[in-house]
């Protein structure tokens, strides 16, 4: 059956492929420590109780008809206040759109800005930009990053590709690494964008910055910088993506938002309206009411971050111990999000020819599943994403013991 060229050449998610492999192993009765998924086990990390109660209440109040295409007014007003209070950014309700999580918003931003064969700059490793480029027919300018820069692109690297670019897609804290931009790193990138836009004529498209900050409230000892606070002129060109999903363990609730230049927001609203990518109205109403309960929000975030960081730190300590023992291991100190970046450099040892072989070996011999960075576009990388959203504290010692035993077998 002949279908569109776009869909015939669309690759499936590499992460889902690994997830399916793990499911098969579990069906066979094997115990797998699944550290792949960027999600939460609700039995370990549940929704805030107040948020859950507000969702139930909104359904009981019959808030179940269509929401406005841009999102309910009550939530956009509350978000305008939250953005001002927490990030000191001025955005009116008219510059904010609500959608069913971050994915539709990123897709709509791509569709709003990109014509076929327009150029998009994004770093690797990063999440899903390759697929969004494929969906929109964009040309890709890919920057391969390195651990010395926290796997973040530099202004110098971006400037090499800036000519004719219409969109730069960045994420901080970064999925998959859990690292964040240093202030000076982001300042220099903003300056490159501003200077390029000053150079262009009014007839040309400007360069826009898509800034995915969905993990920004989950930082540990550092502040995640944002482009508009650093360079107010960037407000004209920056599209922020954010939401409830990660900071409040509510990935299945599907409440995300975007804020940015009003003209861009209006066009994105039209796209999302045609797609019907709304967040359910009861969840929107509940989010507005929950976010207004500032003490409850702060208390939840404090406890949640403490629990996440404990797990990240214990894994960090464990990988450092293996490194000290001489194994080909490395690890980056946790900075943000629910991810730890670890290096397991075993390709070339024994029958392990590739990093895909290494990932399979860890599943088979250590009962540990991690996501290799090649799933995020960084080919031949020995680095992996470790997610702690489904990890019980008491499991960490067993996981690290399994890993060390698997490493010993290769000596």
Q: What is the pLDDT of residue 380?
A: 86
d(CA 26, CA 24): 5
Average pLDDT over all residues of the chain: 96
Confidence of residue 11 (pLDDT cuts 50, 70, 90): confident
- pLDDT > 90? residue 254: yes
Confidence of residue 411 (pLDDT cuts 50, 70, 90): confident
Task: Note the pLDDT tens digit of each residue in 257-311.
Answer: 999 999 999 999 999 999 999 999 999 999 999 999 999 999 999 999 999 999 9
pTM exceeds 0.85, yes or no: yes
d(CA 114, CA 108): 10
Percent of the chain clearing pLDDT 70 (strictly above): 100
Structural domains of the chain, ranges and CATH numbers in brackets: 5-45+298-408 (3.90.1150.10), 49-293 (3.40.640.10)
Confidence of residue 226 (pLDDT cuts 50, 70, 90): very high
- pLDDT > 90? residue 17: no
Task: Note the pLDDT tens digit of each residue in 357-379.
Answer: 999 999 999 999 999 999 999 98
**Which position has the higher pLDDT, 380 or 313?**
313
Task: Note the pLDDT tens digit of each residue in 105-146.
Answer: 999 999 999 999 999 999 999 999 999 999 999 999 999 999
Q: What is the mean pLDDT of residues 19-46?
A: 90
Q: What is the pLDDT of residue 26?
A: 85
Q: What is the pLDDT of residue 379?
A: 86
């Amino acid at each position: 059956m002949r279908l569109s060229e776009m869909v015939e050449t669309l690759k499936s998610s590499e992460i889902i492929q690994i997830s399916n492999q793990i499911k098969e192993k579990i069906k066979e009765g094997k115990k797998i420590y699944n550290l792949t998924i960027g999600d939460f086990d609700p039995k370990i990390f549940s929704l805030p109780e107040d948020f859950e109660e507000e969702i139930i209440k909104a359904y009981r109040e019959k808030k179940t008809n269509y929401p406005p295409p841009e999102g309910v007014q009550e939530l956009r007003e509350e978000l305008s206040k939250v953005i001002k209070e927490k990030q000191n950014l001025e955005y009116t309700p008219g510059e904010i759109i609500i959608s069913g999580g971050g994915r539709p918003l990123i897709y709509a931003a791509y569709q709003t800005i990109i014509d076929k064969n327009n150029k998009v700059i994004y770093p690797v490793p990063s999440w899903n930009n390759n697929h969004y480029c494929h969906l929109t027919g964009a040309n890709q300018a890919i920057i391969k990053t390195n651990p010395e820069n926290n796997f973040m692109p530099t202004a110098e690297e971006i400037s090499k590709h800036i000519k004719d670019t219409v969109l730069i897609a960045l994420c901080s804290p970064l999925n998959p690494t859990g690292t964040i931009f240093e202030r000076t790193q982001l300042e220099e990138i903003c300056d490159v964008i501003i200077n390029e836009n000053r150079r262009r004529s009014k007839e040309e498209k400007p360069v826009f910055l898509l800034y995915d900050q969905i993990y920004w409230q989950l930082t540990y000892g550092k502040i995640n910088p944002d482009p508009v606070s650093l360079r107010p002129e960037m407000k004209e060109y920056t599209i922020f993506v954010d939401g409830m999903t990660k900071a409040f363990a509510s990935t299945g609730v599907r409440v995300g938002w975007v804020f940015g230049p009003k003209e861009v927001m209006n066009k994105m609203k039209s796209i999302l309206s045609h797609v019907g990518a709304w967040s359910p109205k009861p969840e929107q109403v509940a989010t507005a009411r929950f976010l207004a309960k500032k003490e409850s929000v702060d208390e939840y975030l404090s406890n949640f971050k403490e629990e996440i960081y404990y797990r990240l730190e214990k894994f960090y300590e464990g990988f450092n111990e293996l490194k000290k023992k001489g194994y080909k291991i490395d690890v980056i100190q946790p900075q943000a999000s629910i991810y730890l970046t670890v290096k397991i450099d075993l390709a070339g040892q024994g029958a392990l020819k590739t990093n895909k072989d290494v990932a399979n070996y860890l599943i088979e011999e250590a009962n540990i599943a991690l996501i290799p960075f090649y799933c995020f576009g960084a080919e031949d990388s020995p680095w992996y994403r470790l997610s702690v959203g489904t990890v019980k504290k008491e499991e960490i010692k067993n996981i690290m013991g399994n890993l060390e035993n698997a490493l010993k077998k290769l000596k």
